[in-house]
Amino acid sequence: MPDNTLQPHKWVDLYADYLFNYTISRVSDADLAQDLVQETFLAGLKSAGNFKGDASERTWLISILKRKIIDHYRKINSAKGKAEVRVNFSTEDDNEGNWLEQKVADPFDGNAEDAMQNEELGNAIYECINKLPVKQAEAFKMKTIRRMDTEDICNELGITPSNLWVIIHRARAAMVACLEKNWF
């Protein structure tokens, strides 16, 4: 009989390095690789009920990670395709440059409902950040909001990259749980 029990509390220790090495060889960006592995752990937590035990826990996490990597490249290629279509568009009066500026949607042009929803979401995010332990909150803000490099964060907080990895993983998991409870 297959073992269909997961042990998410051990994932970082058991699989983080393996998943990171797998990812970095495919995306060539350490920060992106860390983010994709974090997303994999979160997706694994969310879909734990779907784990049947037909494969090992590591194999199951790798299959989730592969989908995350594919989604990343689809997103990049989708955005690239849209940009190429806009750049290659031609009008009969040869005003391509004007067309591009006039037709691309203004990201700041939203209606009042969008603005209100964004403000509510922002408030919910900051409320959830304030519920995190101090070190998690600080690391999360540095990495996610301020977009600081891992090395700079580690130097400022006096921690190792592995420790930062664990702190960020726990902070993201807590943020997801908090936002699901208070926002979604």
Q: What is the pLDDT of residue 47?
A: 86
- Cα atoms in the Cβ-side hemisphere of radius 13 Å centred on 141: 15
pLDDT value of position 90: 41
**Are the C-beta atoms of 21 and 33 separated by less than 8 Å?**
no
Q: Which CATH architecture has domain 106-184?
A: Orthogonal Bundle (1.10)
Give the pLDDT score at 83: 46
DSSP structure string for 63-91: HHHHHHHHHHHHHHHHHHHHHHHHHH---
- Which listed CATH number (1.10.3470, 1.10.1740, 2.30.29, 3.30.70) goes with 1-104? 1.10.1740
Q: Does 133 score more than 70 pLDDT?
A: yes
Taking only the tens place, the pLDDT of each residue in 75-87 is: 877 655 444 444 4
Q: Global pTM?
A: 0.46
Q: Is 7 exposed, middle or buried (0-12, 13-18, 19+ CB in 10 A)?
A: exposed
User: Looking at residue 105, what DSSP letter applies?
Assistant: P
In angstroms, the CA 146 to CA 151 distance is 14
Would you place residue 139 in the very low, low, confident or very high pLDDT band (cuts 50, 70, 90)? very high
Q: What is the pLDDT of residue 126?
A: 83
Confidence of residue 11 (pLDDT cuts 50, 70, 90): very high
Q: Do domains 1-104 and 106-184 have the same CATH topology?
A: no
With beta carbons less than 8 A apart as the criterion, state whether 2 and 52 touch: yes
**Residue ranges of the domains in the chain?**
1-104, 106-184
Q: Which amino acid appears at position 152 of this protein?
A: D
